[in-house]
Amino acid sequence: MAQTWFSREWLHRNLNTIIPVTGFILMVIALRITNPYFLASWDSVITLVYGMSWFLIAACGLTLVILMGSFDFSVPSVLKLSAMIFAVLYPSIGFSAILVSVLTGLTFGAVNGTLLARFNIPSFMATLATSMIAEGAAQVISGGYTRMITDPAFRAISTTMILGLPSIFYYAMLIWLISIFITFTTPFGRAVYAIGGNIVGTRLAGINVKKVRIMVFMICSMFASLAGILYASQIQGAHMQVGVLDMIPLFASVVVGGTALTGGIGGVHRTLLGVLIIRWLDSGLSMIAVDLNIRMIVFGAIAIVMTILTIDRRRIKIMK
C-alpha cells in the first residue's frame, strides 16, 4: 500500500527502522561533541571496529534465536568457555583447538535446542541452566587463572590488517552476510520467521519445527563460539571476565536494531546497526570516563525501552 512519507501511519509502520537510524545519527553527533577523539583518527576507527566485531558475531546468533521467539542466555558463557578452551588447548594442540572449541559450542546449542524442542522447557530457563554449566566448565579448565598466549600466530587470526582493517572485521561481516542470506532466501530462514510468528500454524503447514529450533540454537552457540575464539585471539588469551556483563548489551543491540522480543519481526540485517549503537556508545562513554556501572544502567534502560517499542502488541495479550 502506498503511503506518504512521514505521515503518521508511515511513522508507525517504520518505527522499528526510524528509531535505530535516528538514534545512531544522534549518538554519533553527541559523542563527537563531547569527545574530541571520537572518530577523530583512523586509529580510533580501528579501536571501535575491534570493539564491535566479535560482538556482532555473537549478536547475529542471538538475533536468530529471538526471531524464533525464544531466548538464549548462554551466549556470553559459551563465548567465554570457547575462548577458554581455545586458549588452554592452543599450546598443546595448536589450531585444532578451534575445532574442539566450535564442537563444544555446537554441543551446547544442541542441548539448548533439545531442552526446548523435545522437553518443552522454556528456552530462557534451559539456557540459564546451561550457561551455569558453561561458566563452571570454563572455571574448571582454566583453574580460574588468566591464560595468556604470546604466540604471534595466535594473535594473527583476528589482527592481520587487510585494507587498513583487522581481519576480525571481515570475519564478522562474512558471518553477518551469511546470516542475512540464510534468513532472507532459504526455506530454513522462512521457517525461523514462521515459528516466531505462529508456531502452531508453522507446525500444521508441515514444517519440522523441532529440527529448525534445534538447528537455530546450534547456529547461535556456534556463532558464540566463533566470537569467543576470535576475541581470545584479539586479546591474546582468555580470562574469567570475558563475556561477563555482556548479556544485556547483546540483548539490547538486537532489540535496538528493531527485532521484536515476541519473535517473527525484525532481522539479522538490523542487528548491525544495533551493535554499532550499543558498542560505540559503550566505547564513547568509557572514553569520556563514564563508569562501567553507569554504562550498565544505560544499557539496561535502553533494552527495556526498545523492548517496549518493538514488541508486537497485536499478538501478545498476556506475557508470563
Partner 1 sequence: MAIVETLLEVRNITKTFDRVVRALDDVSIRVEKNEIVSVVGENGAGKSTLMKILVGVYQPDSGEMYHMGRKVPFPKNPLEALKRGISIVYQEKGVIPHLRVYQFLFLGLEEKFTRLGRLQLGKIISLAKSVFEELGIKCDLSSSMYELPLSMQKMIEIARAILNIKLMVGGEESNVTPIIILDEPTAPLSIEERDELFQYLLNLKKSNSFIFVSHIIPEVMMFSDRVYVLRDGKLVAHHDLRIEKISEEQLFREIVGRASYHELWVKYEAAKIREIDKKPIILSVRNLTKKGYYRDVSFDLHEGECVGLFGPAGCGKSEVARSLYGDISADSGKIIVNGKEIKLRSEPHTRVKVGIGYFSGETGKELLLFWPIRKNLSIVNFDKVTIKSLKVVSVISFRAEKSLAEKIIKKLRIKAPSIETECYSLSGGNKQKVSVGKWLEKSPRIMILEDPTIGIDVGAREDIYEALLEMKKNGISMILVSDDPKEYAILCDKIISMKDGVIQAVYTNEEFRKVIEL
Residues 86-125 contacting partner 1, CB under 8 A:
none
Residue 207 as a binder of partner 1 (CB under 8 A): the answer is: yes
- DSSP β-bridge partners for residue 161: 166
Place of cell 542475512: 180
Whichever of 7 and 286 has its CB closer to partner 1, that residue is 7
Whichever of 122 and 187 has its CB closer to partner 1, that residue is 187
Place of cell 569467543: 228
Report the alpha-carbon distance of residue 96 to residue 98 in Å, rounded.
5
Sole binder of partner 1 in the list 134, 209, 242, 285 (CB under 8 A): 209
Residue 200 as a binder of partner 1 (CB under 8 A): the answer is: yes
Report the alpha-carbon distance of residue 80 to residue 76 in Å, rounded.
6
- Amino acid identity of residue 241, one-letter, is Q
Place of cell 529440527: 211
Minimum CB separation of residue 185 from partner 1 in Å reads 5
Residue 204 as a binder of partner 1 (CB under 8 A): the answer is: yes
Helix, strand, coil percent content, the chain, rounded in steps of 5: 75, 0, 25
Residue 3 as a binder of partner 1 (CB under 8 A): the answer is: no
Residue 208 as a binder of partner 1 (CB under 8 A): the answer is: yes
Sole binder of partner 1 in the list 1, 33, 162, 318 (CB under 8 A): 1
Minimum CB separation of residue 205 from partner 1 in Å reads 5
Output the nine-digit C-alpha cell for 215: 538447528
Minimum CB separation of residue 309 from partner 1 in Å reads 17
Residue 202 as a binder of partner 1 (CB under 8 A): the answer is: yes
Residues 164-183 contacting partner 1, CB under 8 A:
none
DSSP 147: E
Contacts of 19 (CB under 8 A, 6+ apart): 256, 258, 306, 309
Which residues sit at the interface with partner 1, rule CB under 8 A?
1, 185-187, 190, 193-194, 197-198, 200-210, 264-265, 312, 314-315
